[in-house]
Structure 1
Amino acid sequence: MSAAPRRALLVIDVQNEYFTGNLPIEYPPVSTSLPNIVSAMRTADDAGIPVIVVQHDAPAASPVFAQGSAGWQLHDAIAGLPRQHHIHKTMASAFAGTDLAEWLAEHDIDTLTVAGYMMHNCDAATVYEAAHRGLKVEVLADATGALPYANDGGRASAEEIHRVYCTVFHSNFAAVCSTRDWAGAVAGGTALAPDNVYLSNQRARM
């Protein structure tokens, strides 16, 4: 029988910028993702799973996440919830320039559960780096969010971006699941597993 996962819940950038600032999350709507983030944090606390809150810092002149600004502040819904560690970062990955890797190693964590924003930016950078560092990764799809983009590379809606990243993550890098299914796995002490690239491609070709 395999050992139960030694999880930590990483709550990325749940800051006012994504709610009332210049980068409003569109999909899933924050009316869905925020309650699920809160639920995940409470599930983790009840289960003795450490919660790590990540906060993005930008220079004072930045149009988003300017340190000390209203948009930089953690959202009230999560600011007062229990957490075991609080990381400030300046780059997309929560590992870059922080003590996250060392903290996880010190606490014998082998599975990192990711919630928060944005799915395609800071979540993605963190998921990839965690996987490359040998951690098992879980992504709570309905406790994350995306916003639309348009640039010289193309145009994509928030729903398209979120769906594509969920699909790509689950093909190789992370087990993508709902907050409810994750809570069930936590209660049962069971691991969640991703698919694989080969089978994901084979199904799409049928």
Structure 2
Amino acid sequence: MPSIKANAALIIIDMQKGMSDPKLGRRNNPDAELNIQRLLDSWRQAQRPVVHIRHISRTAGSVFSPGQTGCEFQDALAPLALEHVVEKNVPDAFANSGLERWLRTRSIQQLVIAGVVTNNSVESSVRAAGCLGFDTIVAASACYTFDQKDLTGRLWPAEDVHALSLANMAMDYASVMDVNRILAELG
């Protein structure tokens, strides 16, 4: 497992008010926000780079449609004035967003990624980061997802969807670590 580098960026994906909309369904990991806050507090205290990703949907009726409160960051995880904010319209935080350039111009090679949805925006962003050559760490206990139906109509519990997504990311794209381990690595 990699150690956490001094300039590792914390990337927080889609921690917006819309994530608590009941129409998204049942989720796993009720402590995810607390774990994200622990990471965020540590990154801020150490003056490490923090990037907040915000999803702005192009789909009518989405909880993330422009102008809705669902687009706003959750109060406890809102960016500070000097923290970088990236808006995206697709799950991958790197696609057409300028994120890679922002990281490269600051010589940031290591990313710690937290947020939602594990098997959607987190996984697609982690896959892109891995393919772009970033040393990527997924904070498993600082991510969550929702129950999901497959194409046959079978309902998969969020816990299973989360676990399989983490396994997908660990295969080729990232290291997967618990928040306690990440914080211990900060030293």
> TM-score normalised to the size of structure 1?
0.82
Provide Cα deviations, 1:94-143, integer angstroms capped at 9, x if missing partner: 00110100000011111111000000000001000000000010011111
Counterpart in the other structure of 2:126: 127
SS state at 1:22 partner: helix
Q: Supply the AA of the counterpart residue of 1:165.
A: S
Tell me which structure has the larger Cα radius of gyration.
1
Shift of 1:74: 0.8
- Quote how far apart the aligned CAs of 1:169 are: 1.9
Kindly provide the CA deviation profile for residues 133-186 of structure 1, in whole angstroms up to 9, marking residues without a partner as x. Answer: 000100111110010111425431100011111222223321111111101112
Shift of 1:39: 0.8
In structure 2, relative to structure 1, the CA distance for the partners of 1:149 and 1:133 (3 Å cut) is same
- Quick one: structure 1 residues 25 and 104, their matched pair in 2 at CA, closer, same or farther if it must change by over 3 Å? farther
Relative contact order (alpha carbons < 8 A, sep ≥ 6): 1 or 2 greater? 2
Q: 1:6-155 residue pairs with structure 2 within 5 A?
A: 6-24=7-25, 26-29=27-30, 32-59=31-58, 61-79=60-78, 81=80, 84-153=83-152, 154-155=154-155
Q: Which runs of 4+ in 1 moved over 4 A?
A: 80-83
Partner of 1:185: 185
Q: Does the aligned pair in 1 maintain the 2:79–2:85 contact within 8 Å?
A: no
Q: Return the alpha-carbon distance in structure 1 between the equivalents of residues 128 and 59 of structure 2.
A: 28
Query: Is the CA contact 2:4–2:185 (under 8 Å) kept in the aligned structure 1?
Result: no
Q: Which moved more, 1:13-22 or 1:101-110?
A: 13-22
List runs of 5+ in structure 1 lacking aligned partners: 188-206
Query: Aligned-pair distance for 1:3?
Result: 9.3
Residues 39-82 of structure 1: per-residue CA shift (max 9 Å, x gap): 11111111221000000001473332111112111111111556
CA distance in 1, matches of 2:45, 2:81: 10
Q: Which amino acid aligns with 1:98?
A: S
The answer (yes or no) to whether the contact 1:137–1:174 under 8 Å persists in 2 is yes
Q: How has the CA–CA distance of structure 1 residues 140 and 82 changed in structure 2, closer, same or farther, with 3 Å as cutoff?
A: farther
Normalising by structure 2, report the TM-score. 0.90
Structure 2 distance, partners of 1:179, 1:71, is 26
% identical equivalent positions: 25
Aligned pair 1:168/2:168, yes or no?
yes
> Aligned-residue CA RMSD in angstroms?
2.0
